[in-house]
Structure 1
Amino acid sequence: MKLDSIDRRILEVLQKQGRITNAELSERINLSPSACHRRVQHLEAEGYIRDYVALLDPRKVGRQTTVFVEITLSGQTDEVLDAFEKAVTRIPDVLECHLMAGTADYMLKVVAHDTEDFAQIHRRHLARLPGVAQMQSNFALRTVFKTTALPV
């Protein structure tokens, strides 16, 4: 499926206002409600729209500390990579895990209540991950800009 300009406008609006009604969406993109609904269903069926979620304010839920953790593994075999990836997905404080090109093998985005909480997460979970040879943690002082909207 190739996206046309209407599909792109639908995706742009839904990324910023996921709870918008079909009537409001159809008005915003200048399309009839039935045609708009069919397009959204098609975008969902084709996998362009993966999920609908509520984005929480980290401060309101007490997770105001963001830490980026660079992980270097002891090896690059499939077994080492698979064991690490399987284990890291079980840590609820890890929001993202990326396999990297560069000096680190993985980059994690971790949320914590504060530095003491991160120390506990590090001790209880991160330090016990299989295959880890080295870790470096970088604390975010302030979030300047953050979005979940992809350019379409």
Structure 2
Amino acid sequence: MKTGTLDLDRIDQSILAELQADAGLQNQTLAERVNLSPSACLKRVQRLRRAGVIREEVAILDAARVGFPVLVISRVSLRSTTREAIQAFERKVHALPQVLQCHCVAGDTDFVLVICARSLPEYQAFAQEQLGDALELENYSSDVVLSTTKFTTQLPLDRA
């Protein structure tokens, strides 16, 4: 599999699959799982980090258990889609910790946002202050997530 200018062989894919499942694996354990020496495994992981294939290693929290049971998907249309308008909106969104994801999309809207909140009234206040009163927005619509049947951050490397 080729990613940018980096060729990923089966061993790289195995390393990445293991780290996607558990980013906290010790190098020794990882090396055993992918049948490499610890030094060879470490060199590969470092190369994957330097190349930007491994962007970050994080703990994925249960949002509801830490006080954010409300998840909202919002579609946003900008009044103007000039480069400057898009960049200004992106800067604004990056500064909002409630916005977990922001995707620039093709279709009926310009952006799709995934937003977390502690309650529906908190989301409503956020939406009114950050979306409803924003001069740069043409309109927005939101859907409250009732339940999540699948959530993963693991890419299907074995199918690549």
**TM-score bin, normalised by smaller chain:** over 0.9
Aligned position for 1:25: 30
The separation in 1 between residues aligned to 2:35 and 2:87, in whole angstroms, is: 47
State whether residues 65 and 115 of structure 1, in contact with CA within 8 Å, keep that contact through their aligned partners in structure 2: yes
| TM-score of the pair, normalised by structure 2 | 0.90
What is the identity percentage for the equivalent residue pairs of Structure 1 and Structure 2?
38
Question: What is the Cα deviation at residue 130 of structure 1?
Answer: 4.3
State how 1:1-150 maps to structure 2 within 5 Å.
Answer: 1-150=6-155
Query: How many matched pairs?
Result: 152
Letter in 1 for 2:17: E
Letter in 2 for 1:19: G
State whether residues 22 and 36 of structure 1, in contact with CA within 8 Å, keep that contact through their aligned partners in structure 2: yes
The separation in 2 between residues aligned to 1:119 and 1:105, in whole angstroms, is: 21
Question: What is the Cα deviation at residue 56 of structure 1?
Answer: 1.1
Question: What is the Cα deviation at residue 96 of structure 1?
Answer: 0.7
Letter in 2 for 1:14: L
Question: What is the Cα deviation at residue 126 of structure 1?
Answer: 2.2
Question: What is the Cα deviation at residue 127 of structure 1?
Answer: 2.3
Q: Secondary structure at the match of 1:95?
A: strand
The separation in 2 between residues aligned to 1:13 and 1:128, in whole angstroms, is: 45
The separation in 1 between residues aligned to 2:133 and 2:18, in whole angstroms, is: 42
* Structure 1 segments unaligned to the other structure (5+ residues): none
* Structure 2 segments unaligned to the other structure (5+ residues): 1-5
Letter in 1 for 2:112: M
Letter in 1 for 2:12: D
Q: Cα RMSD between the aligned structures?
A: 1.1
The separation in 2 between residues aligned to 1:46 and 1:54, in whole angstroms, is: 22
| TM-score of the pair, normalised by structure 1 | 0.95
